[in-house]
Amino acid sequence: MTNKQITQTQYTQTATNYQLYLPMDVEEMIPMDDSVRLHCLLCERMDYRELLQAYASKGRKPAVDPVILFKVITYAASQKIYSSRGIEKACRRDINFRWLLQGYAAPDHSTISRFKQKYLTDTVMEQLFFQQVVWLYQQEAITGETIYIDGTKIEAYANRYSFVWKKAITKHEAKMYTKWQALLEQINTTYCQIFTSPYETFLEDLKKVLVFLEKVKAKENITFVYGKGKRKTVLQRYHEQVKEMLQRKEHYDTSNQIMGEKRNSYSKIDHNATFMRMKLKKQKQTAYIKPQNHERKKKASFKKDIRHRENMAYDKNTDTYTCANNQQLHAIRNYTRTSQTGYQSKVTVYECEDCTSCPLKEKCTKAKGNRQLHVAKEFLAYRETAQENILTETGTLYRMNRSIQVEGTFDVLKEDYHLKKFRTRGTGNVRNELLILAFGYNLNKIHTKIQANRLNLYYHPLKTA
């Protein structure tokens, strides 16, 4: 081996000359049943008008055709390549990506990143993803009759702190008020004022002091400075602190107004959540939602516990419950209950005739008086309907397929596709990232079903003994 140092940046000057092999056409190197061919077939049938409208009609042409760049990015998602640098590397080395580029030079990472941020927005991507779903329906890969609902947690900067809690607001506001009193005392000492601020007029006093500081600024002709190496005046420091407190106070008041007196929290994304079963009823959809107490009711300990309403006999004609000691519970009053999300339900209160000499009272209730039941009849009707639905043969089939097709999908995305957390910030960017990933996942899914001749298999059948 020679020890000659390599100094040239072009390695071809010192490399071995290899013989050129034919064919040179990339088309011949890709198998006929490769998923990239299916991906290209789908993308060629899509409508890209909304994507192309984002480009100016005049000016220089893009480095890579937008439609081809869309093909590259979505195919990269199916191959578990997400970063712009990873896509750039694949475009330079991978035969499938070279075939998709159709003679265009491999785009650099900045071109790919700019395309995703500026042109392939979440609105455009949603419209293209919808076209893919319609195509899947036309190919009879999906029926469009059943929707499986499941939830999973994927950490993202966009929704990491999406809930606002009343206790946190109360705590932070109290701390801020203490700091405000100390700051107000300093302002009074500096400018010989006698400002006072009781808690009831906290917001108005902040505005009043801020106006006073702005008048001092105008009177003394002081210019506020910003940036590294600039020394701020005492007035500017006071002004910035008061302005920040005013913004926080307005935010706290808005949050308290959203929550009201009966709520302890709210979501920044959806201030008013709607009850899921009411949505299903409005849309005339059959609910196969497993009740919250479904698994708990199957336990022997639950069935033996005489405290539970489910273990008491109910007479629909007399509207009474019968406890374990053969005592009847009659309806005595009704009231309206409001949940933390603002949903209102009518509740009926049932009370036992006499529990004073009952030998089972300690096992039945901890109350000093008679045993009471608070029953939301409308809620129980929805729960019983859902319970009946999931125990039918169709409901059992749906429950099993939900575990396989939905929970299994989340497992594949997190483990095989490495979706531990989102790589972008901002709700729109996170939504766009998820849509691109879903587009790639659907491609792999239908490709696998076509190759395995399972295109019309919509449900995994129930196992029979």
Distance spanning both ends of the chain, measured CA to CA: 70
**In whole angstroms, what is the distance from residue 260 CA to residue 164 CA?**
13
**In whole angstroms, what is the distance from residue 323 CA to residue 326 CA?**
5
Nearest of 433, 438, 425 to residue 159 by alpha carbon: 425
**In whole angstroms, what is the distance from residue 99 CA to residue 32 CA?**
13
pLDDT at 435: 94
pLDDT at 9: 67
pLDDT in tens, 193-226: 999 999 999 999 999 999 999 999 999 999 898 8
pLDDT at 77: 95
pLDDT at 110: 94
The pLDDT tens digits along the chain (465 residues) read 566 666 666 656 555 666 666 566 778 888 999 999 999 999 999 999 999 988 877 767 888 999 999 999 999 999 999 999 999 999 999 999 999 999 899 999 999 999 998 999 989 999 999 999 999 999 888 888 888 877 787 776 555 556 788 889 999 999 999 999 999 999 999 999 999 999 999 999 999 999 999 999 999 999 898 888 889 999 999 999 999 999 999 999 998 888 887 777 777 665 654 444 555 565 666 666 777 777 788 888 888 888 888 889 999 899 999 998 898 999 999 998 887 666 788 999 999 988 888 988 888 988 888 999 999 888 888 888 878 887 888 888 888 888 788 888 888 888 888 888 888 888 888 899 999 999 999 999 999 999 988 888 888 788 775
What are 183's two structure tokens? 């700051």
Mean per-residue pLDDT of the chain = 85
Could you identify the residue written with the tokens 């896509």?
Answer: 87
φ, ψ of residue 5 to 5 degrees: the values are: -75, 135
Radius of gyration of the chain (CA): 33
Q: What 3-state DSSP class applies to 337?
A: strand
pLDDT at 445: 92
**In whole angstroms, what is the distance from residue 343 CA to residue 339 CA?**
5
The per-residue DSSP string of 388-436 comes to HHHHSHHHHHHHHHIIIIIIHHHHHHHHTS--SB-SS-SHHHHHHHHHH
The model scores a pTM over 0.75: no
**CB of 277 closer than 8 Å to CB of 376:** no
pLDDT at 274: 42
